[in-house]
Amino acid sequence: MPDLRGVWPALLVGCAAHLGPPTEPPPKDEGVGATVARACWVEYARDVMPGKLAVAHRGQPEDQDSTQSGLLITGEGGTFLIDGGMAVDLAHEVEGVHGLPRYFLNRASKTWDRLQTPVEAVTSTGTDPASLTAALPTHGHFDHLGGLLDLPDVPVWMPEPEIEVARRSAAGEREGTTPNDAIGVLPRAVSLSMDGPGAWSWSSGHDLMGDGSVLVVPLPGHTPGSVGIRVALPDGREVFLVGDAVWLREGYEEREPKSWLASRFVDDDVDAAGVQVARLWALHQALPDVLILPAHDRRAWLEAFGSPGCVGDPPTPGPEPTTAPG
């Protein structure tokens, strides 16, 4: 009797469809104009990402260091925190979550090694959390939105499709955003329009700072209102934080989606998620100097920042709070 342990998961993770190339024209190299004054990598928690689960079709998948991190950026338009990590009170967060999602949330509370809360992380950069203009999650899953419950006075800017997911989660109509995250964030949620300038092959988006240094573009698939955020760093490099569009950089390097099992469990629209992976691959092919930053791939954060910390000017007294994004 052959030892079949490990075969069924290999089948499950290995039978995702191969992605075709994107249908859009290749991304244009627009160059870097205005840059942010300061950008900081703040790290909330660490874990290990199973390579087999994160990327389909890999010959020798290796586990990789995984992170829950945020990007704190200061520019002409204010100071913004991109992603907040998981909730400080995970027991509260898991209330109202059922079935497999509840199992994985409970598991996350044991496997993720928390380093600091969002308040501690922001403060560690010399930034007063009260000075934040807004928080902007790449999407509404617990490990990006939940930590923002720790910053209850900070407006949360999200595209309308992601706010709608939160509304339906709060009403018990669907899963995606955990109900208590949705209930905690909805009163201060502000709709982020996506009819401004885009970046590369993304034709529309939102100019966060008003000077082109930070462009938010829609990446629907993982969730309906997922976004990617292109940031021109003070030193002239460009990073593109892509949330969970891919979990590891092999996704865009090899044009591979998440494993079949992971895609079905975590991606809201598997086909749309595949389209985004193909577009990221095309961007990487055309402009390899752009640092594409999967939210959980710690290697990519290390490549961009070296270690948790900041590039650019030290913080100065923040600008007056801006009005809601139009």
- Tell me which residues touch Zn ion (CB under 5 A): 143, 244
**Closest distance between Zn ion and the C-beta of residue 247, in Å?**
8
244 or 267: whose CB is closer to Zn ion?
244
How far are the Cα atoms of 166, 213, 258, 320 from residue 323, in angstroms, in the given order? 23, 19, 38, 9
Q: Give the Cα separation of 98 and 146 in Å (integer).
A: 17
Q: How far is the CB of 24 from Zn ion (least distance, A)?
A: 25
| Least distance to Zn ion, CB of residue 20, Å | 26
Of the pair 37, 175, the CB lying nearest Zn ion is at 175
What φ, ψ does residue 202 adopt, rounded to 5°? -90, 115
Beta strand residue intervals within 110-221, DSSP E: 113-114, 134-135, 156-158, 189-191, 196-199, 202-207, 214-218
Q: Which of 238, 222, 218 lies closest to 230 in space, CA to CA?
A: 238
Measure Cα distances from 223 to 169, 175, 220, 245, 248 in Å: 13, 11, 6, 9, 17
Count Cα atoms within 13 angstroms, Cβ side, for 142: 27
When the beta carbons of 145 and 282 are compared against Zn ion, the nearer one is 145
Nearest approach, Cβ of residue 133 and Zn ion (Å): 23
Q: Around 210, how many Cα atoms within 13 Å sit in the side-chain half-sphere?
A: 11
Give the residue with the Cβ less far from Zn ion, 41 or 209: 41
Instruction: Check if the beta carbon of residue 115 is closer than 8 Å to that of residue 43.
Output: yes
Residue whose CB is less far from Zn ion, 245 or 275: 245
Q: Write down the least CB distance from residue 226 to Zn ion, Å.
A: 10
**Cβ-based nearer residue to Zn ion, 143 or 250:** 143
In whole angstroms, the minimum distance from the beta carbon of 285 to Zn ion comes to 25
CB of 260 to Zn ion, least distance (A): 18
**Radius of gyration for the chain, computed over Cα atoms and rounded to the nearest angstrom:** 19
Q: Least distance to Zn ion from the beta carbon of 143, Å?
A: 4
Give the whole-angstrom CA distance, residue 106 versus residue 174.
Answer: 19
CB atoms within 10 A of CB 311: 17
In terms of CB distance, is 182 or 282 closer to Zn ion? 182
Closer residue to Zn ion, CB minimum distance, 244 or 256? 244
